[in-house]
Amino acid sequence: MNQTDVEKICRMMHSVTKLDTRFADSNGEIHFQLVDHLLPVVIDHPETEYLSITDTLKQHDSHHFYHHINTFGLEYIAVGVWENETFDGCLLVGPFVSSLSIIDLIKDTISENKLPISERKQLEQFYQSLPVLSDIECENIGEMLINLCGHDMIDANKTVSRTTKPVANRHLLKMNIEENKEIIEKRYHQQNKLMHAISKGDKAAVNRLIDSVSHFIEFSDRVPGSPIRSSKNIAFVSNTLFRLAAEQSGVHPVYLHNISERFAILIERTTTIPKLQKLNVLMANEYCDLVTSFSTEGYSQIVKKAVNYIQLHLGEALTLKYIAEQIHVNPSHLSRKFKQDTNMTITDFIHQKRVEEAKLYLRRGAASITDIAFMLGFNDLNYFTKVFKKWTNLTPTQYIKTKDGT
C-alpha cells in the first residue's frame, strides 16, 4: 500500500471515529499523524513504545490487529501495513480508554507510575477528554482497519437525494403549549427544588426529586425527527444546572470544570434515551457528592481560599505558615478564622482530607502503604499510621483487611 493510501485511511479513521491516528514505519518512527489529544508531560510515551507495537505486529500475519494498553491505561488499536508480505509499518488509532471509572483509572495511574498527586487535576482533564470505547467497538475498529489496509483504496462517487422540508403546524403547536402549560410549570418547580437539594448536598432529597425532572421522552420532539438529539440537549442543560447548583455551595471551579467536562463527553457518547435517563441520575448524585466533599458555603473568604488551596495541593508539604503565604494573609489571623469557621485546626483539616484520600487508594490496592503515605505528603510512615488511626480507629493495614473497606 502506498503512502497516499495510508494517509487517506488515517484521515478517514480520524474523521469518523474522532480518534487520533498515526502511521509509524517498521522502526516505530511516526511519519504521519492527526492528533487532537496532547499527552501531559508526566505520561509522555517512552521512545520505544511505538517500536514495541510494530514488533508485535510483525510476529503475526496481516489479518491480526493489536489492542495495546500501556502502563498509563492508555489504549490503542494497531494494524500492520503490508506490501507483498513485507511489513512497511503500522496504522495506530488512539489513545482511548475502555473504563468509565476515570477517577479510579487516574488513581491507579498515579500509584503504579509513582506520579506526584498534585498532577491529578491535569490528568483528570486529559483522561476525561479521551473517548471511552466498549470491547465491541474496539473489535469493530480493528476489523475495519484490517479491511481498509488489506487492499488499495478505491475512490468513491456520491449521489445525493433531494429532501423536502416539513411544514410546521403552528396551530397544533400553540394548542400543545397551552395544554402542557401546567405540566411545564410543575416540571420547572421540581427542577428548582432539585437544584436546591444539590446545592445543600442533600442526596436523599436529590434521589426523591430526580425522577420528576427526568422527562426526556416528553422533550423528544424538540428536534423533529431526532429524539436522541433532543434528549441529549436536555441532558446538557441538566449538566449546566447541576453545575450551577454546586457552584452556589462554594465548590471550587476546578472541581466543577472536571465533572462538567466529563459528563458533557459522556452525554454526547450515549446512544439511547434510557441510558441518558440513567446518566441524568448519575450526574445529580455526583454533583451532590461534590458538594458534600468540597463545599465551602458559610466560610469566610479567607477560609475558602485556604480550604481550596489545601484540597488542590494535598500531596505537597503543607503548614499554616506556608498556606498563609500562598494566600497572602497573616498566619495567626488565618488560624483563628479557620478554627472559627470549621471547628478544626488547619492541621486537623489537612490530616482529615489526606486520610479520606488514603482510604480511596487503600481500597484500590494498586500501591503500597508506604507509597500512599509519600504521595499524600507524609514523610514518615509511622506518623501516617498514627494520623490514619486517629481518624479511622484502624491502622492502614487493618483498614485494608476490613470486609468492605469502610
Q: What mean pLDDT comes out for the span 198-217?
A: 74
Strand partners, 23: 32, 91
Report whether pLDDT(129) > 90.
no
Query: What pLDDT score does 405 carry?
Result: 47
For the chain, give the percent of residues with pLDDT over 70.
83
Q: What's the residue count for the chain?
A: 406
Where in the chain are all domains bearing CATH 1.10.10.60? Answer: 301-401
Where in the chain are all domains bearing CATH 3.30.450? Answer: 3-149
With a CB cutoff of 8 Å and minimum separation 6, the contacts of 64 are 57, 79, 80, 146
Picking from 158, 157, 146, the residue whose alpha carbon sits closest to that of residue 9 is: 146
- Dist CA 214 CA 235 (whole Å): 9
What pTM does this model have? 0.52
Query: What pLDDT score does 216 carry?
Result: 41
Strand partners, 78: 66, 92
321-365 residue pLDDT tens: 999 999 999 999 999 999 998 888 999 999 988 898 888 788 777
Picking from 7, 10, 35, the residue whose alpha carbon sits closest to that of residue 20 is: 35
* 3-149: CATH, from 3.30.70, 1.20.1070, 3.30.200, 3.30.450: 3.30.450
Report whether pLDDT(251) > 60.
yes
Q: Which DSSP category does 222 fall into?
A: S
Poorest-pLDDT segment among 112-116, 260-264, 323-327: 112-116
Class of the CATH domain delimited by 301-401 = mainly alpha
Report whether pLDDT(125) > 80.
no
Poorest-pLDDT segment among 81-85, 124-128, 336-340: 124-128
Strand partners, 92: 22, 78
With a CB cutoff of 8 Å and minimum separation 6, the contacts of 143 are 65
8-60 residue pLDDT tens: 888 888 888 888 999 988 888 888 888 877 777 666 666 678 888 888 988 88
